[in-house]
Structure 1
């Protein structure tokens, strides 16, 4: 139904009347914002929403995402009472089954993570699974999980109910209106052009589903998603299938089931997906399906008949082949676009839009109103992608794999195989010839480890120690005892220049970056809540020139955060110079010896103190040498112009022969940094964690002139007796043979108290090491940790752990500052 003619202006214009767009409208209106207009080119839910399966599973790999879906279930349960429209919400629970020992291990890990996140879960036997789902065969099963809080909903009814709730609170929803252009002015959105006129707008929200990519292109915004066919069938009635039958997931067979009018919905995610509409999504693709494709569906049907043999005697009432949009990493896209201010995106929900819509709609509405996320949303933040991720050929090939990974085994350190190699450092060819095994981060090919002679240069995935364990141990020891070189060229580099550069950066950074030229400062970038938006290193190259070095995945995010926090009239400019510079980290007790063979610079503590950067000669090249470490040893990060990188690397390897210089990769780096307790962005450091909780208060200057973003919240937190009930803590396992990967739950005196955020094997310590996030009933102090018993739940086995606030390796940080 059309709510009248389109207005000439509105504060908020939402494009797209699927469940996500209606959720954003609902939540903006519930927050008291009445000037909300939602535009739908057809009818509500006519694009993807109407043919969604409607499954709602609470648990996700990130706690923040689990919290959003938990909110969705709470919202859906009360929405009918609020609006008077049924939603079809049924908290029927879900059963997930395992056909293999590895899958059962994964489910046991999932159960531990669920308990740590407060999700009700029970590990069940095959016979117990059959009791809850009587129509399935269980002879080939190892066990399963029962999650009573999961459920299902009717997507169309749910969308209509959210729409009514939005209208009841003042929002306008107008159907039959097509957006033909999006206008901008001065780098900000200014309105939308439709086939029925133009609407001036302060904020535009792109919830266009499959059309979201094209809508983004109208104003120069990259929305990297691609449509793929998603198929399921609905059977005739089957004996034993009742309305309260739980949702069933059989990931080893790539399939799911739910009850529908006495029959079964059988769907899934085939290992190799079928992308759709390479030439663009048709404008009027409303309430339409694609042709049946039984050949593509065959693997799902075969596995469905294994699980429910009765299906062979049941007719197929309907074959649904509905396209949906998928992203390159299986997480949806949320937030303000970095290219255009006040243009927000909520799209690419990867077949989990019904489950996510309630929480995602609220989160996006809060982001719009508050100007920043109100919780940790980095895993779905649109700024985790760059413009090159929107390449249609790359998207096509990547989406074929990521859709199939929905039910694939989530092995630790699993790497994607398609659309690679992608971004390559200047040393890619050299390192490849040394049997480097590459991983991918922000598209960069980064060396994870170097296979030795006779070794398989591929990862053999498992939940225990993987095939590279001993090789990485050698790289680890080389760094601790001798010297190693790491190619860290994927580090993002941002150049900030201008007469106001220092003042502006000092307000954005928590530490004081107004240091002498040649000074290097580690700092956090905090939000108004005092939580981390990023952490990075600031190098003062000249009086009005700073080089910021940040994580590989953070270039777009950090550049956007910093730029949007510059004063509008400030004389300051930010440029992403990542592609211009390589970074070679020379680390270890003998690093000084190697560099002295190639340079006339003085590398002593007096001439070259820790935390400083100098331009030095190195062979024929001139480079920046930054005395900093992420491994806890003496070392220098060499920031090298790309055109000199190969020469510098060859010189280093030649000079390092007598010191047994070793190539090392990111697997070794991870173990080294966790032994030393170094925190990592998006693991230990998140928008919900403050420097006080992270143990990094030393990197905050409360007294510097002008203050900094987040100072008020941090100052208040210092006087809050409960603030340090949440804290990042170091763990070391007592069992020297166990392997941790991250995500495991942590128990204190037998009660779940937190989760591991980062883990690796600490080859110097001789045991698995981890950094975990604890939520304790009292202040987490050294006394608290020493007076309580800590365990890690590793796939159902409780392992004793030693907990401390200080790292197990070099807790006084003497080794990086050794003189010589």
Structure 2
């Protein structure tokens, strides 16, 4: 042990002395917390960090993630001055080249997104790319991107510099000490057992890198990551390679390059990876590499020789085959574990640890100290996964694909294909037999669309209209004009029961849920800043029994948020019941006609008003019918016990035949909800967006007794005009031909002002429709909107768009409430 005195207790213990663990320690001390102990089983940076390539690219698909990396670059540029230790940080810029027209389209989309996020970017010609990187040949290059703010660093030096900064702030860094167990008490972490003794702690942070999964298992916490081999070579010196050379990425060849001592580091992300250490990582795997595997590396080397022919003459100084941890979706894991209070995780960085560590370390430190995230971190929130995602066989097969996603073409609506099918609804086989094309959400196999007879049931990806456009148009039309059935069984369902269920939920929900039994309430769950932690519907089934229906991806996160906000002395219980109930959404003007053939219940407006739920007979089954819509039409969400689902589906299909009932999928649902301007959580509704900014203030009850979480922040925001500099608005393209996907830049009078958060083709409107987040230099009022000219940048082409201050389809929302 480097520091021999082992404290008996500490406020914060961090397990793992890689760059992420050192960043968390550094940022905790920066926030004034000195009682920090970092434990490293070997030496600092000896696991994954030391053999990382050290590339720092700023841009990520979500603005929130880009902001974290932007902070990393600021931190790395000033760290040496603060600590006196070099970091090897160099803002050398990066060049990304495209070999195909599709890749060039993607780079043009990336450029627009970068400008919208305030990242400096320039679209360049093949010749300009070669001017910046003279040792490559560009005969097959279509064009490229230049990002001057990108850079590179020395991972080991950076880690040592962060560790010194942490020590300067009072942290104790102990090397050569292994954690052998995690202590818990009454559902919370209480300390760690090491091979040098026990340390009690208030908070434990698992930054164990590829060991993080095993550390989690010590205390019943799921950390779904798997180690895979990641290879790169370092060449001998090459003429024309100098220290100022930018980073080069050639994603069509799966490869990257950076300069090192006059030679090149060349590595990449092969399309099918090689998982490692299925039976656990060997003890003392410190500063070690795996055997060279030239067969696995061959596809990368072949592509490197195409890009840099001189490499054929250069010797290889070193072959690095260093294992790294990868997650099921290629994003890292951050946050407090839902299984154990005060146990935090920062791991699974998918070859992005050096770029992400500064921002991720600060974000995690703030989460630890504040008790909740201080910004939108859903993309990396550990609660986006459930216990079944930690299955080792499933992880092994999925990680083979996710490593390759780094440079795979990020097609719109791209679906992962490994380790599937996974979770299946009761109707999976019936829908598959009808040519359903499935996507995956939270592991659920969900129908995206239905192929026609004779059409292959698989998506053909492109940046324009994809091969399902006309199929979805038919499903869309059936919902608007007739009747359609959506299998939405993947909806998460939570039951909240007990004497204090109503009062506790009413404090956690922004709307008033203390309503008569049988009423349904749409509400947001807000944080102390007034931003959305979720939005969901609350069904009051009995005086002390509420069913919450929320998004598929939010099951673990919502349950954790609600439980954490229950009062300690409240008599209330939350139970996850997703698997017990299917949800069949019967939607469209003829939905009542279909149901009437199967039930004795009165479905008229007087007996069964909008936003109410009743138990009804349906054929032989007894189900909950919730009169609610996400498509803007008359309809019912039928909440069916799983054992009755197949029978209910068959009965609905038979009864609906005379009304032309149609199966429909999630792609149609997306277009239908966007025509209505209905917001979705994690897209338009985020922890950084309030009901005032998204136009949902009507769903907030400021007058209810007892108040609600976020009320004070919303009241303050109401009187602050600056608050409305950020708003969610609906845009419809004036031209009916282009296809929007989300992520495009929005321009106001020719200047980037925001980005498209959700988009789909609005088949009723005859044009693409989008919900966008605008961030303006002044409050976004109706006058501001009317005074400006809006455009959407679609891969470098700017299309005029019209802002809709009211939903362009059924603006008064009369259709869901029609009589009968």
Range of TM-score over shorter length? over 0.9
Report the Cα offset of residue 171 of structure 1. Answer: 0.5
- The residue that corresponds to 1:571 in the other structure is 571
Q: Distance in 2 between matches of 1:569 and 1:190?
A: 22
Partners of 1:411 and 1:313 in 2: CA distance: 36
Q: Which residue of the partner structure matches residue 665 of structure 1? A: 665
1:531 aligns with 2:525: no
Question: 2:792 aligned with 1:792, yes or no?
Answer: yes
Decide whether the 8 Å contact of 1:177 with 1:194 is kept in 2: yes
Match of 2:501 in 1: 501
Q: Deviations over 1:162-210 (max 9, x none)?
A: 0000000100000000000001100000000000000000000000000
**Which residue does 1:479 correspond to in 2?**
479
What is the alpha-carbon distance in structure 2 between the residues aligned to residue 819 and residue 780 of structure 1? 38
| 1:225 paired residue number | 225
Q: What corresponds to 2:346 in structure 1?
A: 346
Alignment root-mean-square deviation, CA: 0.5
Matched residue pairs, number?
820
Taking structure 2 as the reference length, the TM-score comes to 1.00
1:753 counterpart = 2:753: yes
Match for residue 436 of structure 1?
A: 436
Deviations 1:716-745 (A, max 9, x none): 000001111100000000110000000000
How far apart in 2 are the matches of 1:518 and 1:345? 41
Residue 581 of structure 1 corresponds to which residue in structure 2? 581
* TM-score, scaled to structure 1: 1.00
- Cross-structure match for 1:488: 488
Distance 2:238 2:431 in 1: 58
Q: What SS does the aligned partner of 2:611 have?
A: coil
Unaligned runs of 5+ in 1: none
Q: In structure 2, what is the equivalent of residue 330 of structure 1? A: 330
In the TM superposition, residue 108 of structure 1 has moved relative to its aligned partner by: 0.1
Q: How does 1:763-802 map to 2 (within 5 A)?
A: 763-802=763-802
Show the counterpart of 2:600: 600
Q: Aligned partners of 1:807 and 1:51: how far apart in 2?
A: 53
Question: How do residues 184-263 of structure 1 correspond to structure 2 at under 5 angstroms?
Answer: 184-263=184-263
- Paired residue for 1:558? 558
Render the CA deviation track for 1:102-138: whole Å, top value 9, x for unaligned.
0000000000000000000000000000000000000
The corresponding residue for 1:34 is: 34
Separation of aligned partners in 1, 2:414 and 2:475:
21
* Aligned-partner Cα distance in 1 for 2:242–2:409: 30
1:10-89 paired onto structure 2 within 5 Å: 10-89=10-89
How far did residue 805 of structure 1 move? Answer: 2.7
Quote the Cα distance in structure 1 between the aligned partners of 2:37 and 2:310.
49
| 1:539 aligned counterpart, secondary structure | strand
Query: 1:298 is matched with which residue?
Result: 298
Q: What are the residue-to-residue correspondences of 1:408-447 with 2, within 5 Å?
A: 408-447=408-447
Please give the alpha-carbon distance, in whole angstroms, between the structure 2 residues aligned to 1:569 and 1:3: 43
Q: Secondary structure, in 3 states, of the residue corresponding to 2:115? A: helix
1:702 shift after superposition: 0.4
Partners in 2 of 1:803 and 1:309 — Cα distance? 51
1:611 positional shift: 0.5
**TM-fit CA distance, 1:699:** 0.3
Match of 1:615 in 2: 615
1:413-471 deviation digits (Å, cap 9, x = unpaired): 00000000000000001000000000000000000001011212100000000000001
User: 2:114, 2:804 → 1: CA distance?
Assistant: 25
Q: Any idea what the Cα deviations from partners look like across 1:499-547, whole Å, max 9, x if unmatched?
A: 0000000000000000000010000000000000000000000000000
Distance 1:210 1:66 in 2: 24
Please name the residue that 1:716 is paired with: 716
Q: Distance in 2 between matches of 1:815 and 1:783?
A: 29
The question of whether the paired residues in 2 share the 8 Å contact of 1:126 and 1:138 is answered with yes
SS at match of 2:344: strand
Q: Partners of 2:777 and 2:309 in 1: how far apart?
A: 50
Give CA deviations for 1:252-273 in whole Å, capped at 9, x if unaligned.
0000000000000000000000
Q: Secondary structure at the match of 1:114?
A: helix
Measured in 1, the distance between the counterparts of 2:510 and 2:199 equals 41
- Does the CA-based 8 Å contact 1:189-1:204 persist in structure 2? yes
Distance in 1 (alpha carbons) for counterparts of 2:805 and 2:71: 33
Deviation at 1:287, TM superposition (A): 0.2
| Aligned residues of 1:181 and 1:193 also touching (Cα < 8 A) | yes
1:639-665 Cα shifts (integer Å, max 9, x gaps): 000000000000000000110000000
Secondary structure of the structure 1 residue equivalent to 2:597: helix
Q: Secondary structure at the match of 1:785?
A: helix
Listed one character per residue, the Cα deviations across residues 366-400 of structure 1 (whole Å, up to 9, x for unaligned) are 00000000000000000000000000000000000
User: What is the rounded CA distance, in whole Å, between the counterparts of 1:810 and 1:723 in structure 2?
Assistant: 29
- SS, match of residue 211 in structure 1: helix
Counterpart of 2:365 in structure 1 is: 365
Task: Describe how 1:118-197 pairs up with structure 2 within 5 A.
Answer: 118-197=118-197
SS in 2 for 1:222: coil
Contact in 2 for aligned 1:782/1:804 (Cα 8 Å): no
Q: CA deviation at 1:782?
A: 2.0
The answer for unaligned runs of 5 or more in structure 2 is none
Say which is worse superposed, 663-672 or 453-462, in terms of deviation: 453-462
Note the C-alpha offset of 1:4. Answer: 2.9
Give the SS at the match of 1:449: strand
Q: Residue 560 of structure 1: CA displacement?
A: 0.2
Structure 1 distance, partners of 2:438, 2:305, is 39
| 1:574-621 per-position Cα deviation (integer Å, ceiling 9, x unaligned) | 000000000000000000100001001111110000000000000000
Q: Aligned partners of 1:303 and 1:398: how far apart in 2?
A: 25
Contact kept? 1:516, 1:540, Cα under 8 Å: yes
Structure 1 match to 2:676: 676
In structure 2, how many angstroms separate the alpha carbons of the residues matched to 1:350 and 1:714? 37
Q: Secondary structure at the match of 1:723?
A: helix
Q: Secondary structure at the match of 2:704?
A: coil
Structure-1 residue corresponding to 2:463: 463
> Structure 1: how far apart are the matches of 2:127 and 2:454?
46
Mapped contact 1:434–1:450 kept (Cα < 8 A) = yes
* Worse overlay, 680-689 or 802-811: 802-811
* CA–CA separation in structure 1 for the residues paired with 2:204 and 2:759: 41
- Tell me if the contact between 1:785 and 1:804 (Cα under 8 Å) persists in the aligned partners: no
| Separation of aligned partners in 2, 1:84 and 1:712 | 44
Distance 2:282 2:349 in 1: 19
Equivalent position of 2:116 in the other structure: 116
Q: Post-superposition shift, 1:321?
A: 0.1
- The alpha carbon displacement at 1:803 in A equals 1.0
Q: Is the 8 A contact 1:232 1:319 kept in 2?
A: yes
